[in-house]
Structure 1
Amino acid sequence: MTEDATERKVEAAERAALDLANVDDADRSAALEAIADAIDQHRNSVLDVNDQDVEAAEELLEAGEYTQALVDRLKLDDAKVDSIVEMVESLAGMDDPLGRTLQARHLDDDLDLYKVAVPIGVIGTVFESRPDALVQIAALALKSGNAVILKGGSEASHSNRELFDIIREAAQEIEAIPEGWVQLIEAREAVDTVLGMDEHIDLLMPRGSSAFVSYVQDNTQIPVLGHTEGVCHVFVDSEADLEEALEVAYDAKVQYPAVCNAVETLLVEESVAEEFLPAMADRYTEAGVEMRADDRTRDILADSAVDVLEATEEDWRTEYSDLILSIKVVDSLEAAIDHVNENGSKHTESILTESDERARKFMTGVDAASVFHNASTRFADGYRYGLGAEVGISTGKIHARGPVGLEGLTTYKYYLEGDGHRVATYAGEDALPFTHEAFDGEW
């Protein structure tokens, strides 16, 4: 794709965004229903082209160029297509995120100020190998009234192209939906073109490594909402229910290891380590988990039949996205908090304990977008949070944090309703005062 072609697509999205912002929720939701139906009806073609992507990826896996985690994220099957369809239908049925009055205030008699939710405008996204991410992002953009530029990885090119065509054509069944609201770019070079179009794109949402997100941030003037690695921790506290902890820590690693909310480091307080670790290591070994541990963990497991490698300093900061886990014994709750804050990626952390007081100390002391008590890190997900879906998980703090759903794709606008009011009335010696009184009201 030439630079001119990329620019034309972005400019078309910008034009469409102005119209889409004024399409009512009934039409946007109808378009989502049409998209869900179309994906369901064309599932065989989607799975056929996905097979092409997976076959090519498996060849590169054999050559050592791809990881198993990437191949796993790439694969679609009937169950995944069912979940994609369900996700789009769920979004269609959610409340309209637009037009909500967030705040209303009387400034004076017949002078009322309203803060109202509106779309951001044009959102540019770059995402990894999961084809379902394309559908999630496009569907969230449509429901929230935003135009979207989609750039997926080359490893999913056939799947992305097929899903994009289905989405675009299905949405056009609804007359009110403007053409051009969704655009697909495929060339790697197109990313740099997009980064330079700050007058046309309102927000960039890259999903990938910290290095890639940093590259985007360093090479654009467009605001960036970054989704980076998930170096997530589970901490087994001295007051944990150890049977429950076995199940939660197992789920956090094994249930689906190829995603950013899977646990990468297990921390165990010293006082329960000798009782907890042998049983936990057995469970992980049965599941094929490679364990990398500190000296104290290896000493405890030395007489067991499990194989545990020596952890390096790099392991404490690594997102494996695979059946690999680092394990460390810590002296105290405070040591666990310090380890997480030093090595985590501010994604998702969990403490397993029966002490509400200790849980609260961990949850308030850890700097992360999501912090859980007695729950698997795998719950960090837009769908599970009831957001319908997510465009990504923001590990930053502005303007959205954690799973970014519909609300994270909106901003606001102020509307002032007056009756010939003039600023001069409220200035000078005889200036009238403002009332600044909040009230319940809709614009």
Structure 2
Amino acid sequence: MANIFEVSQPENDLLEKADQVRLASIKISQTENNNRIKALNFMADYLEKNTTEILEANHEDYTRAEKKGISKALLSRLKLSKEKLTSGIEGVRKVGDLVDPVNQVQIRRELSKGLILERKTVPIGVLGVIFESRPDAVMQISSLAIRSGNGVMLKGGSEANSTNTAIVKALQQGLQESGLDKNAICLLKSRKDSMSMLNLEKYINLIIPRGSNELVKFIQENTRIPVLGHADGICHLFIDNEANLEMALSVALDSKIQYPAACNSIETLLVHNEIAPVFLEKAIPLFNSNDVKLIGDERSVELGLKHEASLEDWQTEYLDLILAIKIVDDLEEAITHIQKFSSKHTDGIITENLNTAKNFMNVVDSTGVFHNCSTRFADGFRYGFGAEVGISTQALPPRGPVGLEGLVTYKYFLKGDGNIVDDFSSGKAIYTHKDL
């Protein structure tokens, strides 16, 4: 990977920008809830005022990227239609409707007479977000950062530079109009800056990468800053022998074609051998009519698939209209395949047998396990988080779509009245440890 990415020391101009964001994040962490909500509304207002400029910038980016021949998946993520922009602006406003994640008291406990302990949520500080192609992510991430009292340094893919610049300009105007420091949102544009960010541990508290497997793994291996994210989105759907056939067809199709460039679209379809002949008889023409290329194991090829899958196919995140199909003998074989090849993002089962569904959902160790519904529901907005900064597939929290509650940490506040530890050693004081 060293020949593709190269970590470099931050230059003075980047250090200056990072310090501006750090200072702005301190200010915003001290603001009242109403002021942060007000800022989001102004940010949304200025996005609306600059709609024409943003869409024109996106058209420039898209045309340039198309001429360069970038992948269909990246082109799909890059495209910002008026409807998509309008939805993104509405999402900024809706983040303001969510419960304030800051200053929430998690523990309030009397340790001893006059000695009160509180654990309260606080902003993380400065978020460093590196992402590819998706300009709508700028709106989501920025609104979540401001709502949770954080500053954010953004580095998008070069293919979206013009769009990202137009969006951040509008967001900063909104911040300034609301009375908050516009430096709380900062956009970096060069690849060198994105790699230099990895050495800004004195300024950035959390790195959130949203991009290719290669990029995410490189970042995880080359920074001392905590990293939150996922490398792959290899999602599975298992069609059980007790599945409702029409439901299985509908859910499988939606899970693949509704937005194939998304990390929560399925890449592998597992089908119980008892239902495979009748299911594939209907599924093959259905997927073919939607331009999905089907590849499969030997048994599924015998039932009509034209392309045979290799070992690599079970390990590939296509982000395209390609679907691998494998026929399995039972639930255990389906789970074994998922545990071996899943990226622990989202995996689902279609079945009418509640015990089978329960076993599947308890055993499969993914951030999302779904029963009788599309994997495309694995999304912060659809979960009611307002938006998301990304999806984490790590075992420790935050896990899954990361919204507001994933962008705060906590600290302990202890208030006393001259209490000293020696009084407890001598017996003058005792611990009560009473929750208040």
Q: 1:114 to 1:277 in 2, by over 3 A?
A: same
Q: Deviation per CA, 1:308-345, whole angstroms, max 9, x where unpaired? A: 31111111011111111000001110111111110011
Out of 381-390 and 106-115, give the one that drifted further.
106-115
| Cα contact 1:206–1:216 (8 A) shared by 2 | yes
Out of 283, 298, 308, the position equivalent to 2:301 is: 298
1:313 to 288, 299, 311: 311
Normalising by structure 2, we get a TM-score of: 0.96
Task: Give the counterpart of 1:93 among 94, 97, 100.
Answer: 97
Structure 2 distance, partners of 1:373, 1:11, is 47
**Which of 134, 138, 141 is 1:134 aligned to?**
138
- Provide the rounded CA distance (Å) in 2 between the counterparts of 1:210 and 1:322: 15
Partner letter of residue 270 of structure 1?
Answer: N
Indicate the larger mover: 195-204 or 151-160: 195-204
2:431 aligns to what?
434
> Is residue 33 from structure 1 mapped to residue 36 from structure 2 by the alignment?
no
- Distance across 1 between alignment mates of 2:28 and 2:66: 40
Change (3 A) 1:72 1:179: closer
Match of 1:438, as an amino acid? Answer: D
What amino acid is aligned across from residue 93 of structure 1 in structure 2?
Answer: D
Which AA in structure 2 matches 1:208? Answer: G
Amino acid at match of 2:17: K
- Structure 1 counterpart of 2:170: 166
CA deviation profile, 1:357-383 (whole Å, cap 9, x unmatched): 111111111111111111100000000
Structure 2 SS opposite 1:427 = helix
Q: What does residue 260 of structure 2 align with?
A: 257
Q: Which amino acid in 2 is paired with 1:50? A: N
1:309 and 1:43 mapped to 2: Cα distance?
45
Give the one of 270, 282, 288 matched to 2:285: 282
Output one character per residue of 1:219-274: Cα deviation in whole Å (capped at 9) or x when no partner.
11111112322100010011111111110001000111111011110000111111
**Does 1:72 find its partner at 2:96?**
no
Residue 304 of structure 1 corresponds to which residue in structure 2? none
Report the more deviating stretch, 16-25 or 209-218: 209-218
Q: Distance in 1 between matches of 2:240 and 2:312?
A: 24
State the alpha-carbon separation in 2 of the partners of residues 308 and 252 from structure 1. Answer: 21
Change (3 A) 1:431 1:351: farther
1:132-281 alignment, distance < 5 Å:
132-175=136-179, 177-281=180-284
Which amino acid is 1:228 matched to?
A
Structure 1 residue 210 displacement after superposition: 2.6
Amino acid at match of 1:109: K
Q: Structure 2: 5+ residue runs without aligned partners?
A: 1-7
Question: Is contact 1:112-1:417 (8 Å) kept?
Answer: yes
Q: Give the length in aligned residue pairs.
A: 428
- Runs of 4+, deviation exceeding 6 Å: none
1:395 match: 393
Deviation at 1:97, TM superposition (A): 0.7
Q: Secondary structure at 2:398's aligned position in 1?
A: coil
Q: Which moved more, 1:210-219 or 1:278-287?
A: 210-219
Which secondary structure does the structure 2 equivalent of 1:105 belong to?
Answer: strand
Give the conservation status (yes or no) of the 8 Å contact 1:225–1:398.
no
C-alpha displacement at 1:5, in angstroms? Answer: 1.3
State the distance in 2 between where 1:366 and 1:94 align.
31
Identical aligned pairs, as a percentage? 43
Check conservation: 2:89, 2:139, Cα contact below 8 A.
no
Counterpart secondary structure, 1:125: strand
Structure 2 counterpart of 1:348: 346
Q: Distance in 1 between matches of 2:217 and 2:66?
A: 29
1:121 lines up with 2:122 in the alignment = no
Q: What is the alpha-carbon distance in structure 2 between the residues aligned to residue 117 and residue 419 of structure 1?
A: 24
- Aligned residue for 1:260, secondary structure, equals coil
How is 1:326-341 mapped onto 2 (pairs within 5 angstroms)?
Answer: 326-341=324-339
* Offset, 1:431: 5.6
1:18 matched to 2:26? The reply is yes
Unaligned runs of 5+ in 1: 302-306
Q: In 2, Cα distance between the equivalents of 1:22 and 1:427?
A: 38
Distance 1:192 1:58 in 2: 26
**Distance in structure 1 (CA, Å) of the matches to 2:432 and 2:283:** 63
What amino acid maps onto 1:222 in structure 2? I
TM-score of the superposed pair, with normalisation by structure 1: 0.94
Change (3 A) 1:19 1:242: same
Indicate if the aligned counterparts of 1:400 and 1:408 stay in contact, CA closer than 8 A. Answer: yes
- Distance in 1 of aligned mates of 2:90 and 2:216: 30
Report whether the alignment pairs 1:364 with 2:362: yes
Report SS of the residue matched to 2:178.
coil
Say whether the 8 Å CA contact 1:363–1:372 is kept in structure 2: yes
Secondary structure in structure 2 of the residue aligned to 1:148: strand
RMSD: 1.3
